[in-house]
Structure 1
Amino acid sequence: MKKSLFGCLFALLLHVPAGASNSLWITNVKLVSPERLDMVEPGSVLIEDGRIVKVMRGARQRPPAGARRFDGKGYFLTPGLIDSHVHLQSVPGMSFEQMGEKAKLAQEYYKQLPRSFLYYGYTSVIDLAVFDVGFIDRLRRAPLRPDVFHCGSPLVLANGYPMSYFPPSQRFKVFPNFIYDPAQAAAIPAEYAPREHTSAVDAARAKASGAVCIKTFFEHGFGSQHSLPVMSREVYGEVRKAASANGMTLVTHANTLEGQGFAVNGNTDVLAHGMWRWDRLNNEQVLPAEIRAVLDQVIAKGVGYQPTIQVLYGLRAYVDPDWLGDPRIRKVVPASLAAWFHTPEGKWFRQEAAGGESDEDARRGLDVPLRHVRQVVSYLASKDAKILFGTDTPSAPTYGNLPGLNGYLEMQNLREAGMTPAQIFKAATISNARAFGLAAQLGSIEPGKTANLLLMRQSPLEDVRAYDTIVTLWVGGKQVEREQLAADHAR
């Protein structure tokens, strides 16, 4: 009798409706998706096994059989955001030496890091320069984290930017995918064979590490470095060819008129910074025709453009007396690290960021590059160019670029520069997904895509401050309340 009863129960379990345990029906929401911005309307979304399986539009919907119901209270449902320019292994405010010396602080930061991106809605991030793929793998094992994509180890011209900031004894180990330059043979350790450091071999290595993109650089330098070697058009052409051969997006660091013109003429896919240095035109007040010509090429060729305005504010944080008092900092970094920022040791980068100037002079010194990048963004936005959302978090060892919060501040920068809320929304969703070959998985609320979703009280098409009204997130279908992600949330 007992055996028969057990058999009946087992049979019943086998016939539970498919959606009973893994289906979620999010209903009573207003759908905001970038492919249908003209149709913000009531609807519902069905999720199964971490993916969107059905999108239903209309105020009245019959719940699917067996699905759990989530009432969205009439709030706005959007796809999760994508930050396409981050550096995950760097700890804001710390040098590489300090990261080793302050290992406990660094580990506490890393534990909070993925949650901080999620706190402001970034359910996907793209690391453009990986030092340790193992770190990316460990981050991906976090119980709650954004989807992580990367460009692998960047393709850097030997002894050029940014490997030039490391001692010669270390730089080739930190940047193993450097491009061999025969003209510098005497300055490259003999252990590195030229045939192992061509663009083709380097790109294949990046691809093998799981990269979806290639990052390279055109940078003569700044600060104390102004004459770093840069690649020739021929070498850059080889990088372009290698990226195409591997089906990878080519991202180029360039923030000057010369650098962006070089990269656009060489057919880059993405420019990783705004043009805040105008070279010989630096003193011009109105956007010069020569710069408009380069930007027109950006538009005509459909080059993705990451303004990264917050990079400049990350430097300015050291001469901003109010920055460390911002209560939002405690939402995205542990209390221990936030306290360390206030110490003399934690403010070590101030000297480099301010260049020995007074706070007032240092702030004034950033006014020109800020004006430049705003003018460039305004022009591109007026032409509806392909602007991509990326923050360069952290752009330097600065505590002014904090995960998640940096993105929220960048959205305000873009709005002030002339982008509409709709343009910003697209830049952080579908435009990023398309530019990095991820549109089949991410960027919109459509069947078949990963269930990365945000529920917010306000519409992001009306005000960028809506991104601070997130209530609930779904990350790969896993539901979490926003406040549970904050660094100061009691766990």
Structure 2
Amino acid sequence: MKPALLPALLPALVATLMLCTPAFGADKTWIANVKLVSPERLDRIETGSVLIEGGRIARVERGPSRPAPAGASVVDGKGYYLTPGLIDSHVHLHVVPGMSMEQGASGDSLARAYFLQLPRSFLYYGFTTVIDLAVSDYGMIERLRKEPLHPDVFHCGEALVLANGYPMSFFSPDKRFQSFGNYLFDPAMPTVVPAQFAPSAHTVAAGVARVAKAGGICVKTHFERGFGAERNLPVMSRAKFAEVRAAVTQAGKVLITHANSFEAQSFAVAGGADVLAHGMWHWGALNGQAGLPQEIKALLDKIVDQRTGYQPTMQVLYGLRAYVEPGYLDDPALRKVVPAALLAWFSTPQGQWFKPEVTDGEEDAAVMQGMEGPLRRQRAVVAYLAGRDANFVFGSDTPSSPTYGNLPGLNGYREMRQLHAAGMSLAQIFKAATMNNARTFGLDRELGSIEVGKAANLLLLKTSPLDDISAYDSVVTVWVRGQQTAREALAADYK
């Protein structure tokens, strides 16, 4: 550079250096005057302070607040409650609630607006970590991770789906094999595979390897005979499931099985599944019994003794009920997690396209009544497991189907309310959404509690989650990897 040019360029050079160099202390945050609520120390809910440095928890002090470390910005917690960020271990990020798969993937402006708001909606209700159980679009995962504000995202890769079984069965035979690249061929099942899709490329080993290569932390399988018009779908043989169990163990992953019936959960527990994705709302021949049958109690005892992870996902049925629930779309809470234009579209004839599939020709009141039986059975199972302190792992199944009744963030909060009403204690719900999830999915060295060295994924709440379930709707501030955001700035209707 010529010396004569230096005076003219100096202001620009200084400005550039100021943009590239973080302000002194910007990487340190001292959260003081808070009550610490962490799952590993629920016996010590006391005033304390936390230092965040480099996106991690650098210090945890219990007792009266001390002066802030040199160079740290200070957050006065006003006597509120500081907790770990919440983990939702059952989401489906590629789906736009209320839209068909084709609509959601079309690039429509409503879909684009939804995906922009999606990460903020999870954060609005304190979910700083989500786990996608069945990836359909890896690009969606990467786009979400690149958003300026987003929860930590983990996934199970493409689900290990039995050829022609659930959920491949939703697609026509000429499209299902293109849509599910990680299908599993089981010679024990009399099912047709098109000639161009060689079964030899769809062994258990190949399927688990695909998940591992894609960075999955878990492998999802299914035991589902079907519902509605399809009730005789092929399901995995015990021998094939044992092969899956062995391969998943060897790969160091977590085995999750979609199972919502007594038969399915019996199969998965006998085969050693790590997590049961869904509650038990189908009891088969035992459906009509008023109390909890002894046969089901015996299975639930095994689930408790084996410490199998249990995701009740009660909002699945409530999500379907949204189409026949008076006033659902008028709830002000929806405006916080869904862009206004999409919320308005839900009320249009086009936005109601999924209702006929939910009602199947029945009146709204009859549909509501028809769901009471499955919900009663599900509540009975949750209450029994809660009484035995089972290994609940929190998952909301957002969204469980093309319904607008499972909205990101809000669906998780409503799941918590339903779990509490069913019999889970506030402490059980808190642990399920923090440490239980972290341990079960192998993330506990990084997440799940307020401990030195862990990621600074934290929530400031006005109310303790051990005092009232509504605490999860009292978030004031969210930190993800040390990045601080006020809750109101995360709302879809924020101006």
On whether the aligned pair clears a TM of 0.5, the verdict is: yes
Which amino acid counterpart does residue 263 of structure 2 have in structure 1?
E
Aligned with 1:322 (options 319, 327, 331):
327
Q: Map residues 16-415 of structure 1 onto 2, 5 A cutoff.
A: 20-101=25-106, 103-182=108-187, 187-415=192-420
What SS is found at the alignment partner of 1:429?
helix
Which amino acid counterpart does residue 255 of structure 2 have in structure 1?
L
- Of the structure 1 ranges 175-184 and 235-244, higher mean CA displacement relative to structure 2 is found in 175-184
What SS is found at the alignment partner of 2:369?
helix
Deviation, 1:102, is: 6.4
Deviation, 1:163, is: 0.7
- Of the structure 1 ranges 63-72 and 366-375, higher mean CA displacement relative to structure 2 is found in 63-72
Deviation, 1:195, is: 2.2
How far apart, CA to CA, are the structure 2 residues paired with 1:458 and 1:390? Answer: 22
Q: Map residues 415-426 of structure 1 onto 2, 5 A cutoff.
A: 415-426=420-431
Q: Structure 2: state its 5+ residue gaps.
A: 1-5
Deviation, 1:133, is: 1.1
Q: Structure 1: state its 5+ residue gaps.
A: none
- Of the structure 1 ranges 346-355 and 84-93, higher mean CA displacement relative to structure 2 is found in 346-355
How far apart, CA to CA, are the structure 2 residues paired with 1:119 and 1:366? Answer: 30
Superposition RMSD in Å: 1.8
Which amino acid counterpart does residue 265 of structure 1 have in structure 2?
A
Aligned to 2:440: 435
Deviation, 1:285, is: 0.5
Q: Tell me if the contact between 1:19 and 1:48 (Cα under 8 Å) persists in the aligned partners.
A: no
Deviation, 1:97, is: 2.2
How far apart, CA to CA, are the structure 2 residues paired with 1:104 and 1:155? Answer: 32
How far apart, CA to CA, are the structure 1 residues paired with 2:180 and 2:323? Answer: 29
How far apart, CA to CA, are the structure 1 residues paired with 2:38 and 2:459? Answer: 11
Deviation, 1:180, is: 1.1
Aligned to 2:490: 485
Q: Tell me if the contact between 2:189 and 2:234 (Cα under 8 Å) persists in the aligned partners.
A: no
Residues 221 and 449 (structure 1 numbering): CA distance in 2 closer, same or farther, change over 3 Å?
same
TM-score (norm 1): 0.95
- The superposition leaves residues 30-65 of structure 1 with CA deviations (integer Å, 9 ceiling, x where unpaired) of 000000001000000000111001101101323212
Q: Tell me if the contact between 1:129 and 1:152 (Cα under 8 Å) persists in the aligned partners.
A: yes
Sequence identity percentage: 60
How far apart, CA to CA, are the structure 2 residues paired with 1:347 and 1:111? Answer: 23
Aligned with 1:468 (options 469, 473, 482):
473
Deviation, 1:191, is: 1.9
What SS is found at the alignment partner of 2:357?
helix
Q: Tell me if the contact between 1:31 and 1:41 (Cα under 8 Å) persists in the aligned partners.
A: yes
Deviation, 1:309, is: 0.2
Which amino acid counterpart does residue 280 of structure 1 have in structure 2?
A
What SS is found at the alignment partner of 1:168?
coil
Which amino acid counterpart does residue 117 of structure 1 have in structure 2?
F
- The superposition leaves residues 279-318 of structure 1 with CA deviations (integer Å, 9 ceiling, x where unpaired) of 0000010000000011011001000000000000001111
Q: Tell me if the contact between 2:32 and 2:65 (Cα under 8 Å) persists in the aligned partners.
A: no
What SS is found at the alignment partner of 1:30?
strand
How far apart, CA to CA, are the structure 1 residues paired with 2:172 and 2:230? Answer: 14
What SS is found at the alignment partner of 1:134?
helix
How far apart, CA to CA, are the structure 2 residues paired with 1:99 and 1:327? Answer: 24
**How many equivalent pairs are there?**
480
Q: Tell me if the contact between 2:186 and 2:240 (Cα under 8 Å) persists in the aligned partners.
A: no
- The superposition leaves residues 362-405 of structure 1 with CA deviations (integer Å, 9 ceiling, x where unpaired) of 00000000001100000000000001110000000000000000
- The superposition leaves residues 306-348 of structure 1 with CA deviations (integer Å, 9 ceiling, x where unpaired) of 0000000001111101111111111001011100000011011
Which amino acid counterpart does residue 258 of structure 1 have in structure 2?
E
Residues 411 and 188 (structure 1 numbering): CA distance in 2 closer, same or farther, change over 3 Å?
same
TM-score (norm 2): 0.94
